[in-house]
Structure 1
Amino acid sequence: MTAKESSIRDLAASPVGLRERKKIKTRQAIRREAYRLFREHGYDATTVDQIAEAAEISPSTFFRYFPSKEDIVLTDEYDPLMVEILRTAPEGMSLLRVVRTAILDTLREILHEDREELVTRMTLILEVPALRRRNYEHQMQTWVMITESFAAGTGRSADDLELRVAAAAIGAALAEAIVGWTRDGCTGDLVALADESLALLERGLGDSP
């Protein structure tokens, strides 16, 4: 591991503030109850009011944490961390190397702490048409987030074609790894599969951008 990669891993492991931890804890509690209801009654048959009641919150509180029922499945607590990692990436490290270094540790953490939720999430995305449609939109938003965050930290333009293509390719490679893992019954080594997908890109993209 290089010193640059070590600094990224240290940032990924750094604790968040107390207020943010409380918000994350509440979001996770809402999501946990929602996933339980989805498994018991199905996604379409479960209402926001039912989720709020199960999580012991009001519907208005629910919407402070999730704009819609779909966002329970499509959002997580890791995007803000990725933004910080990208904005503070070591000078001279490519976008692909930064993401590859950070995402593998994040995946390991998710699989260790929240594997059941990840399986539920991905299964829902594959099975529910409305979630599949919204997931593609969410992926595009993630590509933009990656591009803008890395550009802000390196002084590059977020309109840089090379950077935008790299971000889209990285997002697509990770999505393909996760979807393939889900279709195979979530039994393989997701971290290895994601690493292999990004390695394929790295051999093709080299250090660009």
Structure 2
Amino acid sequence: MALELFAEHGYDGTSVGQIAARAGVTEMTFFRHFPTKASLLVGDPYDPLIGAAVRRESADLDPISRAARGIRSAWQQLPPPASIEVRMRLRIVAQTPALRAAMTGGTAATEAVIVEALIDGGTGQREAAIAASAVMAALNTALLEWSLADDEELGQAINAALDVLVDRHG
């Protein structure tokens, strides 16, 4: 429902009141489920899965490889998402500067989970932070670029980003 309104009026031109009315709820009910309008588009429920997957990777790998391989493993454990909806959500984010900033907040949470997993495997704080930041920057760039095109599947975009960081056979 919110995606339809964003498509009709743009993100900035759609109010929480309009979203709540379309959903048949009050604004108060909306805010019980979503802390902000932006959270409809940039929420990320996969952090625990990503952290566990990074922890399972060999501590003998360099931090970027551990993080990238962990994310690839986590992605392979998920059921395929509704690519059309994901593309629509990310396209709105890519085209709305305020949402790109909100995406950064979600990225920071994921980075923290990756940093913790890397540190648990023996990586130093600085190296873990740099590796997590690099991997998330690559993923975010790939996802936003993917959202603006119509030529590949989401999994291909994720794997392509991770392949830039890590030899696909590594």
Counterpart contact for 1:104–1:194, Cα < 8 Å: no
The structure 2 residue matched to 1:109, chosen from 66, 72, 80, is: 80
Distance between the aligned counterparts of 2:165 and 2:113, measured in 1?
19
Provide the residue aligned with 1:163 in structure 2.
Answer: 128
The structure 2 residue matched to 1:186, chosen from 134, 140, 150, is: 150
Provide the residue aligned with 1:55 in structure 2.
Answer: 23
Distance between the aligned counterparts of 2:24 and 2:94, measured in 1?
29
Alpha carbons of 1:97 and 1:66: their partners in 2 closer, same or farther (altered >3 Å)? same
| CA drift at 1:105 | 4.7
- 1:102 maps to amino acid: A
| CA drift at 1:171 | 0.6
Distance between the aligned counterparts of 2:121 and 2:159, measured in 1?
28
| CA drift at 1:124 | 0.7
After superposition, give the CA deviation of every residue in 1:39-62 in whole Å (9 maximum; x if it has no partner). Answer: 122212211122122223332221
Name the TM-score, length of structure 1 as normaliser. Answer: 0.66
Provide the residue aligned with 1:26 in structure 2.
Answer: none
Alpha carbons of 1:76 and 1:57: their partners in 2 closer, same or farther (altered >3 Å)? farther
Distance between the aligned counterparts of 1:142 and 1:186, measured in 2?
26
The structure 1 residue matched to 2:38, chosen from 60, 70, 86, is: 70
Distance between the aligned counterparts of 2:151 and 2:13, measured in 1?
28
| CA drift at 1:84 | 4.5
Q: Secondary structure at the match of 1:142?
A: helix
Q: Secondary structure at the match of 2:13?
A: coil
| CA drift at 1:90 | 5.5
The answer for unaligned runs of 5 or more in structure 1 is 1-32
Provide the residue aligned with 2:97 in structure 1.
Answer: 129
Provide the residue aligned with 1:172 in structure 2.
Answer: 137
After superposition, give the CA deviation of every residue in 1:25-50 in whole Å (9 maximum; x if it has no partner). Answer: xxxxxxxx211211122212211122
- 1:46 maps to amino acid: T
After superposition, give the CA deviation of every residue in 1:78-107 in whole Å (9 maximum; x if it has no partner). Answer: 3343344446x266473332112212454x
Identical-residue share of aligned pairs (%): 32
Distance between the aligned counterparts of 2:52 and 2:34, measured in 1?
22
Q: Secondary structure at the match of 1:192?
A: helix
1:99 and 2:99 correspond: no
Provide the residue aligned with 1:4 in structure 2.
Answer: none
Distance between the aligned counterparts of 1:198 and 1:136, measured in 2?
19
After superposition, give the CA deviation of every residue in 1:154-180 in whole Å (9 maximum; x if it has no partner). Answer: 3547x6112111111111111122122
Decide which structure has greater helix share: 1
The structure 2 residue matched to 1:198, chosen from 159, 162, 168, is: 162
The answer for unaligned runs of 5 or more in structure 2 is none
Aligned Cα root-mean-square deviation (Å): 2.7
Distance between the aligned counterparts of 1:90 and 1:142, measured in 2?
17
